[in-house]
Structures are given as structure tokens and as C-alpha cells.
Amino acid sequence: MTGLPPHRLVTTLQDRLRDLEVEFHEAYWDSQVEATPERDARREELELELRRVKGDTDALDAVNAALSEEIHDAVLRRQLEVLRLSFTANQMDDATREEVVALSSAVESEFATYRPEVDGRRLDENTVHRILAESDDVALRERTWAASKEIGALVEERVRELARLRNYAAHQLGFADYYRMSLELEEMPEEWLFGVLDEVERFTDEPFRRWKEELDSRLRRRFEADVLYPWHYGDAFFQELPQDGRVSLDSLVAKSSAVDLAEKTFKLWGIDLSGVMANSDLYPRERKCPHAFCLDVDRSGSDVRILANVVPGERWTSVMLHESGHAAYDMAIDPRLPYLLHRPAHIFTTEAMAILSGRLVRRPGWLTQVAGVPEAEVEQLADRLAAANAAQDLLMARWIPVMAHFERELYSDPEGDLNSRWWELVQRFQLVTPPPGRDAPDWAAKIHISVAPVYYHNYLLGAMLASQLEAACTAESGNRIEDQATGEWLTQRLFRPGSVLKWSALVEEATGRPLSADDFATHVSGSGHSAT
């Protein structure tokens, strides 16, 4: 393939990837809406085939050779760079590749079908969540929490093995380990990222301690407990706002369906999601993936789908807004862009849009305009809503570093004492006391560690960018984020360019400055954002 003119090389590889990628996305979707052994096998087979094509060493050599020449066409150059990154990530021998795909598929189906057993009853994810969010029965909470962690022991050895295999492939390419390789291929400098994590740890320390002390004293009273353990908090990982002390919007938003609310939100922004909703699979069912995601099946924006498990209330309304943010982004990318660049600039830029949308559920303007809550009612809640929005992101800012630091350590030493490391990080960042004497692979119960490796930090960068976008949009146009004009601003600045620009350049063009944690710091301190 070396010797082909760069534009021919790009179209050849693009054509080779496109059909296979679309076929894989279809199979992936099928396996998530209803897991069967045949569907799992088909999806695994296509994933392997796709990775094999991307593992073509000759193709990578040709791409590298083309990139070593001067290329003035920026779009052509970016396509070659995108190819270089994705082909490099897939260089490994066939046996390693097969083992990685087989192991990660097996772990993923394990998660998809796992139903923790409590008191002889198998519980689905929404039920586990409801018990931890609502129950006053501490013993039941503890049993439910412990049962939700049992999947960790079930997959632990396979997750360690995945880490070893991924490291092996990274070592062959000269990287220190898989974690470092992944960051580099995401165009994310490790030093910069961990600098940001340190900065966020510093500026959230005092407000988080203050917020958590108040929460803890309420929880101690509620549960009549001297010491609080992980099962006293509102979810299995203490990543969501507990109901205590937050404004529950369940009764306010439950009158409308989460799906209608999401559609209406984006309609106000001038983005029509009715086609997306029609293609989507939105309600819980047996053998269906219990989480939520959005998929642009053919990367044209014309077949975007959401998988969700909507039940009435605030949580799934917020999740639907989040996934709709991803969908809107996928749909609004400039249709003239070539296939390889017809995608968000980076994982975290699409997470930014999703987080920005998910936050709307606690915005007074959204509650009145979209959810139809009477203004007087919202006005009474305004201060508490602003505080809850800040607290949600504060909590996230202390949870994400647990994942990011843990993953870096997992890949630095897959043989290490990971059970202890996990709880050390949970204590350091989330200030949660581990259960006495606990020595279990609770880290492996978090699905992202096995199936979405080196991904989690993108949620923090996404939250930072969400705040930066909001600040830039407000300063420039005077519009609030929930106003109609914002849809056009976001479309032009964030969505349309696809991945023509590297993320750092896109952020600077969109907001006028490089990505920083400044606006996010203002956001989590609960000041600087009008409550209206």
C-alpha cells in the first residue's frame, strides 16, 4: 500500500473500514437490546474482524510514510492522523487479539446478564438502585450493596488477564503500558491530565469536605449510625447525589415521559430528535443491557439510536437528556465531512454536550419551559436547585479521580494489591470508610474498568468543557444555556466541525481559550451561575 498517493490511501482504508464498522455497530446494537448466545457470538466475530483490519501493519506503515511527507490539505492530513491513531492501537499478534476480544466480550455478557441475589430474589439494576436510593432498612441496604459487588469476584481474574494482554501489546509497540499507550493515542498528554486531576483535587477538597460533613450528619441521624459505610450512601459507588438533602424532582418530572421531555428540550434548540427516538430502544426488558448509550450506526448522523431503560422520575430524565446530547452532536456534524472525520472531535467533547444536557433537569428555566412546572414552584426551589447542581458535579469530581488513578495503577502493576489500592483511593477522594476487614475485588464490579478501559477521565474533562462552553456562550451571546439561540451556537461551535480539528484546537476555537478547570471550579463552588 506504500506508494499510493495519500488521498487514494485514505479512501482505500476508509472504504475497507466503513462497511465492516457499520456491520459491527448493527451487531453490537442487536446484542445489547437482546443478549443471546448467537448475537453475542456474531458481535464478537465482527469486533475481531474489525480489529484485524485495523491491525494491518502494512497499512499503518503506508499511513506513517504518507504522514512523513508535507501535506497541505488539512482535512487529508487529519484523516491520516486518525488512521494512524486507530491502527496503532490495534497492532498485535492474532492470538493476543483473539484473546482480548474473547475475554472482554465474556466479561461484558457477564455484566449484561448478572442479577445480584438478595434474600433469594434476583434483582435488576433499577431495583438495586431503588433500594440504595430509598430504603431505610440498613441491613437490607448492606446486603444489597454487598450483592452488587459480587460480580467483581466473578470477573476479577479475567480483568487482570485483560490488563496483562493489553500491556503485552503495548510493550511490543514500545509503550510503558496500556494506560500510557491509550492516553497517547487519545492525544491526551498524561502529565497534563494528572495535573488537571491534582488541580481538581485541590479546589474541591474544602467544599467537598464541607458538603459531605453535612450529608453525613443527616445520614447518621436517619440511620441512627455512629459510623457510615458505603451502603449508607445513595448508590453502589457514591457517584450520584443521595436523596438526603437534595431536591427531589421525581414528582415534578414524573408527569411527563422522560423521552418526551428530551425530545422537547432539543426541539427548543432547533434539533429534531423524533427520528432518533423512533430508532431507539428505550424501556427495560429481560436480557437487555441495563445501562444507557447512544450509537451513530453508520456515522452519517441519519441512523442514531439510544438504548435506555427508562422508568419515571428524575434519574432517567437526566440520563435521557444526557444520551440525547450525544445524539444531537452525532446528528449535527457537517454531512460533507469524510467518513473518518464524521464523528465528535474527542470522547470528552461529546461527553461535554451530554453532561451539559443532563444538567438541565435542575435548571429553573428548563423546569418551567420544558417540564411545565409552575414558575412559583420553581422559584421557591431555585437556590436549592443551584446547590444540587453544584453538589452533583462536586461529587463527580471526587469520584472520577478514583477511577483514573486506579486504572493507571492497574496497568502499572496488574499483580498488585488492587483490593487495597481501590479502598485507599475511595477513602482519599470520596472520604468513604471501607467496611471493616473488607478484602474483595470491589474495583472489578465497575464495568468500565473491563469494557471501557482508560475512558473515565473523559467524564471530568467533559464536565470541565461543559462549564467552559456555558461560560463562553453566556458571555458572548447573553443567552442562557436553555435558551433557543444556544442550539445554533452549540451546533456551529462544537458539533459541525466533527473531528477535523484536534480537541485542543477545537476547544480554543469554540470558546476562545484552551481547556481549563476554571469555569468548572466556579460551577462546583455553587457561585457564579445565576439561579434563574
Site residues, Zn ion (CB under 5 A): 354
Work out how close the CB of 506 gets to Zn ion at its nearest, in angstroms, rounded to a whole number.
Answer: 18
For residues 103 and 82, is the Cβ–Cβ distance under 8 A?
Answer: no
Work out how close the CB of 329 gets to Zn ion at its nearest, in angstroms, rounded to a whole number.
Answer: 10
Nearer to Zn ion, 131 or 327 (CB): 327
Nearer to Zn ion, 328 or 354 (CB): 354
Nearer to Zn ion, 25 or 78 (CB): 25
Work out how close the CB of 335 gets to Zn ion at its nearest, in angstroms, rounded to a whole number.
Answer: 23
Beta strands in 280-322 (DSSP E): 293-296, 304-307
Closest CA to 466 of 502, 519, 503: 519
Nearer to Zn ion, 306 or 432 (CB): 306
CA distance 197 to 404: 9
Phi first, then psi, for residue 417 (nearest 5°) are -85, 80
Q: Between the CA of residue 197 and those of 36, 350, 405, 494, 526, what are the distances in Å?
A: 40, 20, 9, 24, 20
Nearer to Zn ion, 313 or 358 (CB): 358
CA distance 455 to 461: 11
Torsion of CA 236, 321, 350, 271, to 10 degrees: 170
Nearer to Zn ion, 89 or 354 (CB): 354
Q: Which three-class secondary structure state does DSSP give residue 167?
A: helix
Sign of torsion over alpha carbons 85, 87, 93, 95? positive
For residues 276 and 307, is the Cβ–Cβ distance under 8 A?
Answer: no
Beta strands in 40-180 (DSSP E): 117-118, 121-122
Nearer to Zn ion, 319 or 340 (CB): 319
Closest CA to 364 of 343, 348, 383, 390: 383
Work out how close the CB of 323 gets to Zn ion at its nearest, in angstroms, rounded to a whole number.
Answer: 7
For residues 264 and 324, is the Cβ–Cβ distance under 8 A?
Answer: no
Nearer to Zn ion, 145 or 348 (CB): 348
Residue type for position 219 = L
Closest residue to Zn ion in the complex (CB): 354
Partners of 117 in the β-ladder = 122
Work out how close the CB of 159 gets to Zn ion at its nearest, in angstroms, rounded to a whole number.
Answer: 22
Work out how close the CB of 326 gets to Zn ion at its nearest, in angstroms, rounded to a whole number.
Answer: 6
Work out how close the CB of 515 gets to Zn ion at its nearest, in angstroms, rounded to a whole number.
Answer: 18
Work out how close the CB of 269 gets to Zn ion at its nearest, in angstroms, rounded to a whole number.
Answer: 18
363-379 in b/e burial notation, b at 16+ Cβ within 10 A?
bbbbbbbbbebeeeebe
Nearer to Zn ion, 196 or 354 (CB): 354
Q: Any idea how long the chain is?
A: 532
Work out how close the CB of 433 gets to Zn ion at its nearest, in angstroms, rounded to a whole number.
Answer: 30
